[in-house]
A and B are shown apart, each in its own frame.
Chain A
Amino acid sequence: MTSDSTAQTAAPALLEASGLARSFGATKALVDGSVSVGPGQIVALMGENGSGKSTMVKLLSGILRPDAGEIRLGAERVTLHSPRAALRAGIVTVFQEILVAPDLSVLENLWLGNGSPVSGRRARAQRRRRAAEVLGALCPQPPDLDAPVGTLDLMHRQVCAIARGLLRDPRVLILDEATSTLDVTLRDRLFAHIRTLCRSGVGVLFISHRMDEVLSLADRCVALRAGTTVGSVPRSGATAEELVRMVSGQNAGAERTRVRSGGPSSGQPALRISGLRVREDSAPLDLEVGRGEIIGLAGLEGHGQDEFLRVLAGLRAPAAGTASVLSSRKRAAATGYAEIRGYRQAVRQGIAYVPRDRKAEGIADVLSCLDNFSVPTLREDARLGMLSPRRTRGRFETHGRGVNLEPAPGAAVGRLSGGNQQKVILARWLATRPAVLLLNDPTRGVDLKTKHELYDVFERLASEGMTFVMLSTELEEHLSLMDRILVFHGGSCTRELTHADATREALVSAYFGHGEGAALGGERR
């Protein structure tokens, strides 16, 4: 089942992991994981959350040690005691989480842990040069080498993390969802750079949830399911449906092209935006969002869509203009609309915001699912100040069912998969019975199966009258889920596409600020 039969012939695999197993207490995270990367090969490792992918990556990068199985580099068997050992052996990993030291400069981060800390002037000059080279290859506008990394946005921090890996001259490069914050330009440059690396014999192990990335980059796909490698096929032979079936064990239905069937209902719009300028230099935006409508916010990273969403959530004041929500509260103005002025007030008016960074802003990881679910709405369970756990559990079950949530109320949220954590957060906000749900990249780091479950939930809620404004970084989501897509460029909303008009080409060209219908040479998406 795991043999890599059609692979390279005489050359031994650069990295070969076979029969890896690892448990955490009673949980068997990895049972029989195998993967093989030959020189110059790009292998995609695919699997749902809970399939053992991240454990596999941790084993290969030296963060954890396997309970069983072996890892071979070339022909030699190696034991990777720590990330240091893995790095010394030539295995360089870029992790899903963006791991950079904010107080150090870009240059210092790029050379962190690499080479002797003492250096003469010539060595320092050389480091500068090489750092600038790598950054220039990855980034059309590389950040200043002496700027503290803490002042960069998420995308450029991830570029720094990737650049740091590249500067170690890897023999094997492992990229664990390392493109999550990169926009289309940077992603493509990265892929081009990877292909160059492979031509010089570097092997690449590439983990991604995104089918389009896998299809465009990989030579070979390895699928993990429930801790076991269930398939390893050359990319050229496989279709997307086959890959999905391999990964999820289900039929192709999982990657069907969804078609948006619903639409906004008539009547008063749920959100009214007038003259809104997110930044000083943005163009004013006027918009009305109908009840039950699903609006997508799209664009290259950092072009204002995140700020726009935060303005709607009340987390950020706009530079000018107002956003108002149709208020269900009696105290609303005569017009029936309440201007969004602050976070708490927005929540009171029926707006709920699901943040992007689950770990930092979404969950209290050591507390139970019940706590994470109930805190904003605890008032409903209190009689004379005293909480009734029974009532809370009842609400948890009700709203949990609404999002297909399985885990027990007492489980610590930090141990759940990304998808399940997202469900807890969603249940939490659905319990406030919001009229408008603002979602900031909700399916990031969520496996395919859960993604589609969430899409079903969103569509159902929309058909019941809930309004959605969803920032998404995946073209597929925009194309299949949204009634309308607002594309942001340079801080302003420059295009508005309806579901009918939305095509890949139209979207991507809008990302780059090109006019309607302009063809973009070389862009496959």
Chain B
Amino acid sequence: MHRLLTSLRSTRLGRFAGSGLVQLLSILVIFLVGRSTVVGYSSASSLRAMSVLAAFLGIAAMGQTLVVLVGGIDLSIPAVIGAGNVMASKLTGQGVSSPVMIAAVLATGLCIGLLNGYVSSRFRVPPLIVTLATGSVVGGAVLLWTNAALTGNAPSWLTGFTSAAATTGPLPLAPVVVLWLVLAAAGEYALRRTRPGRALYVNGVNREAARLMLVSDRAVLSAAFGCSGVCAALTGLLLAGFTGSGLFDVGSPYLFSAIAAVVIGGNSLLGGRGSILRCVLGAAALTELTTLLVGFSLSAAAQQAILGIVVVAVVASYGREQHIGGRI
């Protein structure tokens, strides 16, 4: 198996996938399993539904990936998703025009993200705790704002944007899926071919060395968390099209599924290793898997339990750390 992987890795596709080959293969494998065991799994409508779900997850996970690349983790994503969702619905319900609404939502996400980045770098506190705190504040604020009730409504174009049956020009994919893939491609390009992207990697691997190489820790963290905030807010906004109105709680499933997507994609939580491409693969694989489990008529609880095992199994296949002897 190892030799097969190694020889595949040297092919053109293998190099492109940046050895996210295991993930590509598992996507294929899960698909084939689903196709043969679950009725309607590989039907066009099922695939399109999966792609839309993967798009939501993928966009949220993209922000998480950037944060993970600098060695952090963003636990405020569900709260920001909720905020984006509620804000989009409420503002639309109050008659605000869509461009303004979109700008407001994304700006809110950006501000929350920048705050996360600032506090993490200025006070040298682990992002896990900072985002835990800000997530709590934002989540609570949204809760208060909506009084824990459904509120507002989504703009009409958004429903079409996120509908599984929709198409984008000649492509049989919903616009939201195209948006996801375009954002992912842009993000990946930025990581590989722009200065901020390289700076991000260096900072994620060795913060001290990065500082001496003129990479500002504060700038990198702010950028990464800022992007994460924007992505989360965007996810919330898009979800409004999916659910029809705003609910404070809509983001909570994404707390762990976004991390799971990042991890399954093969990004190291240590920082400095990984890419958005891997995140895309991870989101796709995860969505396929959950759809498969739903197809097996498993309860949400059982799905969760299985997801836990899968996460550990996947990481065990690629993410084992070096034996300590190798690090001396």
Contact = CB atoms under 8 A, between A and B. Distances in A.
B16 to A, nearest CB: 15
A128 B209 CA distance: 38
Interface in A47-94: 58, 63-64
A63 B205 CA distance: 25
Given A367-B272, A386-B194, A387-B198, A376 B205 contact: no
A371 B209 contact: no
A389 B193 CA distance: 8
Contact of A382 (B194, B201, B210): B194
B205 A375 contact: no
Interface in B207-226: 208-210, 212-215
Given A366-B205, A376-B214, A58 B195 contact: no
Among B194, B209, B325, chain A packs the most CB atoms within 10 A around the CB of B209
B199 interface: yes
B202 A371 contact: yes
B214 A364 contact: no
A97 B328 contact: yes
A40 B326 CA distance: 31
Given A375-B213, A382-B195, A386-B194, A364 B201 contact: yes
A292 interface: no
Interface in A357-413: 360-367, 371-372, 374-376, 378-379, 382, 385-387, 389
A378 to B, nearest CB: 5
A347 interface: yes
A344 interface: yes
A371 B195 contact: no
Contacts of B304: none
B273 interface: yes
Contacts of B215: 375
Contact of B194 (A64, A344, A364, A385): A385
Interface string A421-462: 000000010000000000000000000000000000000000
A355 interface: yes
Contacts of B273: 366
A379 B210 contact: no
B206 interface: yes
Contacts of B209: 360-364
A364 B273 CA distance: 11
Contacts of B328: 58, 63, 95, 97, 99
A364 B193 CA distance: 18
Interface in B278-328: 325, 328
Interface string A344-358: 100100000101000
Contacts, number: 69
Nearest to A354: B212
A365 B198 contact: no
A371 B193 CA distance: 11
A388 B210 CA distance: 21
B206 A364 contact: yes
Interface residues of A, number: 32
Contacts of B210: 364, 375
B272 A366 contact: yes
Nearest to B216: A344
A97 B328 CA distance: 8
Nearest to A24: B326
Contacts of B194: 382, 385-387
Nearest to B204: A364
A64 B209 CA distance: 29
A353 B209 CA distance: 12
A379 B195 contact: yes
Among A360, A361, A364, A366, chain B packs the most CB atoms within 10 A around the CB of A364
A421 B195 CA distance: 22
Given A64-B325, A97-B328, A386-B193, A375 B199 contact: yes
A93 B201 CA distance: 35
Nearest to B193: A387
A259 B210 CA distance: 37
Nearest to B210: A364
Among B202, B208, B212, B325, chain A packs the most CB atoms within 10 A around the CB of B212
Nearest to B325: A63
Contacts of B208: 360-361
Nearest to A82: B325
Contacts of A374: 198
B195 to A, nearest CB: 5
Nearest to B271: A366
Contacts of B272: 364, 366-367
Given A63-B328, A97-B328, A367-B272, A375 B206 contact: no
A125 to B, nearest CB: 33
Contacts of A382: 194-195
Contacts of A366: 205, 272-273
A243 B209 CA distance: 37
A374 B215 CA distance: 12
Contact of A58 (B205, B213, B325): B325
Contacts of A97: 328
A319 to B, nearest CB: 23
Interface of B: 193-195, 198-199, 201-202, 205-206, 208-210, 212-215, 272-273, 325, 328
20 contacts: A344-B214, A347-B214, A355-B212, A360-B209, A361-B208, A363-B206, A364-B201, A364-B202, A364-B209, A371-B202, A375-B198, A375-B199, A375-B202, A375-B213, A376-B214, A385-B195, A387-B193, A387-B194, A389-B193, A428-B213
> Lowest 5 CB-CB distances: which A-B pairs, in order?
A364-B205, A63-B325, A378-B195, A364-B206, A375-B213
Given A375-B215, A428-B213, 20 more contacts: A63-B325, A99-B328, A344-B214, A353-B212, A360-B206, A361-B212, A362-B209, A364-B205, A364-B206, A365-B206, A367-B202, A367-B205, A371-B198, A371-B201, A371-B202, A372-B202, A374-B198, A378-B198, A386-B194, A389-B193
